[in-house]
A = this chain, B = another copy of it.
Amino acid sequence: MTDDYYRVTLPASEQPTQWYNIVGDLPAPPPPPLHPGTLEPVGPDDLAPLFPMALIGQEVTSERYVDIPGGVLDVLRLWRPSPLMRARRLERALDTPAKIFYKYEGVSPAGSHKPNTAVAQAFYNRAEGVTRLTTETGAGQWGSALAFACAQYGIDCEVWQVAASYRQKPYRKTMMEVWGAAVHSSPSPATEYGRGVLAADPDHPGSLGMAISEAIMMAAADPAARYCLGSVLNHVLMHQTVIGEEALLQMAMVDEQPDVLVGCTGGGSNFAGLAFPFLREKMAGRMSPAVRCVEPASCPSLTRGQYRYDFGDAAQVTPLLKMHTLGHSFIPEPIHAGGLRYHGMSPLLSHVYELGLVEAVAIPQRECFEAGLQFARAEGIIPAPEPTHALAAAVREALACKESGEPKTILTAMCGHGHLDLGAYEAYLQGSLADHELSESEVAAALESVPVLA
């Protein structure tokens, strides 16, 4: 490895073969999901209509490591290990003494980190005889990932795409169809719930919470079908830890440790995927990075939501999850980082935040796009709108280093490319992007939908 490396490539032989489960290392376990009727913790039987037993087991395990099946590794090998990049040109453009690294997940077929868990979920479902999977998608990244994964294992895939995104991004729908999936605009005529929403407003833009409701209802009604979630749940976050495990090995290859780690947070899986293995090292005293969640100012579940039990979806069909939430009826402004427009935050990441292991900051979207544009011109890669939030935080940190003269090492989660989000860049370039900062009263109103438990 020379001093002027740009890309740190992990040999295929060092591809991680275990997922890391941070639950086993935490000083306290995360609060369990509750049945909304009984307020008792949900058991495997409650979840069995929706998930295969293997994933239910992973959802509740406290084992620190879980072996990745060979049938999953085989598919991940199509693009993993993903590259760790040193953003030398961005460093020069910022004139900063900081070193900026980014772990790039846009090399997957679907262009984001999402296939890391989609492949695992499709694999376990197939192993238990499931022939049909349903899911929701916001920006389209998750739906694409599951469509790709289902094509790999010969499973029928049905996706409910948030209506606003369905209309705004026809290419995402086509991408899913290329991989053989059926795609519905949500709210859809396919469910009673969707029909009700459409009756009241035929042009309803939908929301991730609504699309989750529809996908769950369809899976629950078909014994051969199961449901997949692209973020939020423990097993999803665990599947993403291959990102951080690879990054640890790659940072070691160039003798570096992060002083600051930043990642964007929507449901939390991309952030957790990179951060949790580094938090393990931090908890063990082997390194001491500041670890920072970056969320959109228009959907600030960590920084302005409350840590309470709430539903994961709009129609209240999920268990109650203890998480940072803005209220399950909250419908964020249609910002372009569709993957970050979720009312809640992963219960596990919320718990980790409560334990003080990570920080959080909210950034408005124009600053994010500015950072994204600067990154694209310096590094070539055009980031998806979601990781521009992490980039904006990295740029803030690098400019602070310029002020202070500190040569910090910054590690950024670059979770996907923006090839199907160029409409958002066009809006930014034309000056038509607005920032949506929530008022106190908007937050208070949204929080009213959080149930008050007896």
Q: Hey, which bits of chain A sit against chain B, CB under 8 A? A: 4-7, 9, 11-12, 74, 77-79, 85, 89, 107-111, 148, 151-152, 170-171, 174-175, 177-180, 373, 376-382, 419-420, 422-423, 425-426, 429
Q: Are A381 and B109 in contact (CB under 8 A)?
A: yes
Question: Taking A174-B426, A178-B382, A178-B425 as contacts, is the C-beta distance between A419 and B77 under 8 angstroms?
Answer: no
- For the complex, give the distance between the alpha carbons of A11 and B180 in Å: 35
Q: Are A380 and B148 in contact (CB under 8 A)?
A: yes
Cβ of A373: which chain B residues have Cβ within 8 Å of it?
Answer: 178
Give 29 pairs: A residue, B residue, CB < 8 Å, sorted on A: A7-B77, A7-B79, A9-B11, A78-B380, A79-B380, A89-B152, A107-B107, A108-B380, A109-B380, A109-B381, A110-B380, A148-B380, A151-B376, A151-B380, A152-B380, A170-B422, A171-B422, A174-B425, A175-B419, A177-B425, A177-B426, A177-B429, A178-B373, A178-B376, A178-B422, A178-B429, A179-B376, A179-B377, A419-B419
Cβ of A85: which chain B residues have Cβ within 8 Å of it?
Answer: 78
Q: Are A429 and B380 in contact (CB under 8 A)?
A: no
Question: Taking A152-B380, A179-B376, A382-B109 as contacts, is the C-beta distance between A6 and B422 under 8 angstroms?
Answer: no
Q: Are A78 and B429 in contact (CB under 8 A)?
A: no
Q: Are A9 and B6 in contact (CB under 8 A)?
A: no
Cβ of A380: which chain B residues have Cβ within 8 Å of it?
Answer: 78-79, 108-110, 148, 151-152
Q: Are A377 and B151 in contact (CB under 8 A)?
A: yes
- For the complex, give the distance between the alpha carbons of A7 and B81 in Å: 10
| Shortest Cβ distance from A70 into B: residue | B4
